[in-house]
Structure 1
Amino acid sequence: MPHENTFVFAKRFDQPGTFQALYAAQNWLREKGYSYGSTCRSEPIGVLKGDYIIAKWRNLTHQEINELDGMVTGCPRNGPITVHLTEIPV
């Protein structure tokens, strides 16, 4: 997992309703030009800048995890969700 100190930006989503915080985070990431992986139980969701298909966290290698531009953490079903990025988005 990328070291916590590599993240310079975090944005929290806490919309009420089943999966609503996750959907809001995904929409925000797409608007900012990021791709995100699939949910994987309580594991983080990988994030990369650009148009990518990202495997579930459990299927990423250590090298792939170290190359991520960020991750999504939290409870996908009920929120809250936090997006952590290695750069401040524009």
Structure 2
Amino acid sequence: MADQVITFTQEGEFQAYYAACAWCKENGYSHGSMQARAPIGLLRGDWIIAKWRNLSPKERQQLDGTITCIETFREAPVHVVIREGK
């Protein structure tokens, strides 16, 4: 079983990012704060998640997934990646 990747391609400044965050909320995931191009952590349930730079390697490993971008969260595409088996 592979990681599940949901891609958001809404046009407009941050629109794909906002859509990804809405998907996470609708599907029971909490997301961390944006930090430039770094991934944003996801955990199933109601959590407060630190920025990527403040997560330890162990905490990163415990995440249920991430929100990622290629260049910047300002423009599409934005990907929600749910880890295999999570």
Same fold (TM over 0.5): yes
Matched letter for residue 27 of structure 1: A
Moved >3 Å (runs of 4+): none
- Residue 11 of structure 1 corresponds to 6
Q: Does 1:42 pair with 2:29?
A: no
Number of aligned residue pairs: 84
> How well do the aligned residues superpose, as a CA RMSD in angstroms?
1.8
Gaps of 5+ in 1: 1-5
Q: State how far apart, in whole Å, the 2-side matches of 1:23 and 1:34 are.
A: 14
Q: State how far apart, in whole Å, the 1-side matches of 2:43 and 2:31 are.
A: 6
CA contact (8 A) 1:7 1:70 kept: no
TM-score scaled to structure 1, two decimals?
0.87
CA contact (8 A) 1:9 1:88 kept: no
Matched letter for residue 32 of structure 1: N
What percent identity do the matched residue pairs reach?
46
Gaps of 5+ in 2: none
